[in-house]
Structure 1
Amino acid sequence: MNASRPASVSVLTLARGRQDHLRNVILGLAHQIRLPDELVIAAMQDAPFEDLPDAPFPIRQIVVPGEELPLARARNAVAAEADGDVLVFLDVDCIPHPALVSDYYAAATPGSGLSMGEVMYLPAGAAAPGWTIAGFDAVAERHSDRQGPPSEPRRLCRDYRCFWSLNFALHRQDWDRSGGFDEAYSGYGGEDTDFGRTLDAQGIPIWWIRGARVYHQHHAHCMPPIHHVTSILRNTEIFAAKWGHRTMEHWLKAFRMMGLIEDTPQGLRILRDPGPEDFALCAQADDMPYAASARVIRALEARQATIPLTDRTAQLSGAAAS
């Protein structure tokens, strides 16, 4: 950081569609205690967004097309485009608390590593026009599968697999040192864990911090993400070739238990496409603030426990012979 001037902050987000979600992100940034110096949007579609709300900071867009979600490439693109010393990455469905930018501004100093702020999940309808932060705080919930904020200002995250890109920040010096996200990954899944593993290998610490809160806007989602089986299988094999073992094992476990995939000597293989029963099991209902893989895996394990052992053996033998 240049000691002769204060650090600048670039907020970076990626979006395909989600116009209403993006509008709420901009409104949340417009009410920051410490305004960002810019917002850079990667439009993962054929054209930039139109009719965005006015904001008290510059908004720039870059188009990052791709039939599958180019998540790794888009994050690298917005970081390369940004002018800021501090890079704040927000998913487009995350409305920032008014203190988010100031919290990350304090945390993301040169060499300090990557910081992950708090995430709260909103029920359906909570982010309707006229929303307030006080209203969010009254109804938002923490995710049962995720680490909560530390009681101290920050706590070292000792498991790189806990990194996820929903809400994080780091100084540009640490970003440059990391090399960014690996663009071998395309579509959904794997690029986050790969980035966390890269930071771990390079000795760049990952921190949980208290504050830097976002409110995750409710939207239809499946967890485990059965709508992304193809890219998850491809990306876990890319991870295995790079690091010597697969990632996203909890999702792979659920896919196996649902009969969607199997292991073969040649690698993972898709057995069938997910059907209505699978989506009914994994989908986030309107009364659920978030989808959770652990809930689905528990249901699958309970279902499997009711199947007689002889039937389970026959199912396994049939799958192996197919």
Structure 2
Amino acid sequence: MLSVLTIVRNREAHLAQLVEGLRRSARKADELVVVDMSDTPIGAPAAGFPIRIERLETDGLPLAAARNRAAAMACGDQLLFLDVDCIAMRECLGRLSETLDRHDALLCADVRYLGPDDGRGSWEESALLAAGAAHPVRCFPVTGVREEPQAGLFWSLAFAIRRARFEALGGFDEAFTGYGGEDTDFGYRARDMGLPLLFVGGAIACHQYHASHDPPIQHLDDIVANARRFHARWHDWPMRGWLDQFTEMGVVEWHEGAPVVRRQPTAAERTATLSTWPASPMRIKDPLAAT
């Protein structure tokens, strides 16, 4: 049984397109589990498969806790975590499910990044595939799988794992509060458990565009705190590209070899960091971009 899991905060239109992708999938989802952190509770979109929504009241973005909540609600022995911004292409679910049948591994889907006008309203898969930009660092095979030796390139946007393995790992570490670092920590722990990281060819999901900051200055406090937590465990700095950008901006300084928040960003700095399209390699989240 394949459970698709997503978490959402104020992106109901994106969720509708995620559901539409699942509705068109060759291999149907047995269920969709949604953890809703939105300011106003969302409604269940129409679909030809069960959708269960769990409300999580929060003022922030507790990614680790929300993903763990979704996994705890799921019934399937195969878990596919799909960010609410992602639209699974027709063969994505089938490729991931079949690969999990053959491999006890941590699987990443091939995410393509869409522009501001792509995937809005009605869409054709061929148009999304033509418009989507591949990640500049992560290399996927056309078919089959490629084992990725660098655990830090684990990608939480769209990944699959056997439920038993997720539970054995203890899920995402909820000590990582808010945004950043929890996915890289999960990848490192999976590596230490001996779980291969496989990039699955043909398992394509298209990431819907949304306004964002480069670097993600709105998550400054979370990123610095979670980077310090990650370093204490792994003796390595995740999200180093973002930390370096924060340092250049003067909002972060390094004290005794560790980053600390020097000040909060100004309104002008928040405006200046709003990203533009096409996406730059830094905006396309790469937690290892600077380790």
**TM-score, normalised relative to structure 2:** 0.91
Q: Which runs of 5+ in 2 are unaligned?
A: 285-291
Secondary structure of the corresponding residue to residue 108 of structure 1? helix
- Structure 1 distance, partners of 2:212, 2:81, is 21
Post-superposition CA distance 1:123-182 (Å, at most 9, x none): 1111221111122122221132x3131255111111111012001001112212222100
Q: Does 1:67 align with 2:56?
A: no
Do 1:110 and 1:173's aligned partners in 2 also have CA atoms closer than 8 Å?
Answer: no
The structure 1 residue matched to 2:245, chosen from 254, 271, 279, is 254
1:74 is displaced (CA, Å) by: 0.9
Pick closer, same or farther for the CA change 1:111–1:134 going to 2, 3 Å. Answer: closer
Q: Which residue does 1:292 correspond to in 2?
A: 281
| Aligned equivalents of 1:260, 1:195: Cα separation in 2 | 28
Structure 1 distance, partners of 2:218, 2:109, is 28
Q: Structure 1 residues 173 and 249, CA, compared in 2 at 3 Å: closer, same or farther?
A: same
The yes-or-no answer on 1:29 pairing with 2:22 is yes
Q: How many residues align?
A: 284
Q: CA deviation at 1:245?
A: 3.4
Q: Which amino acid aligns with 1:154?
A: V
1:56 to 19, 44, 48: 48
CA distance in 2, matches of 1:192, 1:219: 21
Report the alpha carbon displacement of residue 86 of structure 1 after superposing the two structures with TM: 0.9
Give TM-score scaled by structure 1 length: 0.83
Instruction: Name the CA distance, whole Å, in 2 between partners of 1:119 and 1:294.
Output: 14
* Shift in CA distance, 281/150, structure 1 to aligned 2, threshold 3 Å: farther
Residue deviations 1:30-57 (CA, integer Å, cap 9, x gap): 111011100000112466411x331110
**Once superposed, which parts of structure 1, at least 4 consecutive aligned residues long, lie more than 6 Å away?**
none
The whole-number CA distance in structure 2 between the counterparts of 1:221 and 1:61 is 26
Q: Report SS of the residue matched to 2:202.
A: coil
Higher strand proportion (structure 1 or 2): 2
Per the alignment, residue 191 of structure 1 pairs with 182
Tell me, yes or no, if the aligned pair for 2:10 and 2:39 is still in contact at 8 Å.
Answer: no
C-alpha RMSD over aligned residues: 2.0
- Asked if the contact 1:27/1:53 (under 8 Å) is kept, the reply is no
**Gaps in structure 1 of 5+ consecutive residues:** 1-7, 296-322
1:40 to 26, 33, 39: 33
CA contact (8 A) 1:222 1:291 kept: no
Give 2:202's aligned residue: 211
1:266, distance to aligned residue in structure 2 (A) = 8.6
Partner-residue secondary structure (3-state), 1:262: strand
Q: Is the 8 A contact 2:143 2:202 kept in 1?
A: no
- Alignment of 1:160 onto 2:148: no
Matches of 2:231 and 2:129, distance apart in 1: 40
Structure label with greater radius of gyration: 1
Bigger mean CA offset, 253-262 vs 20-29: 253-262
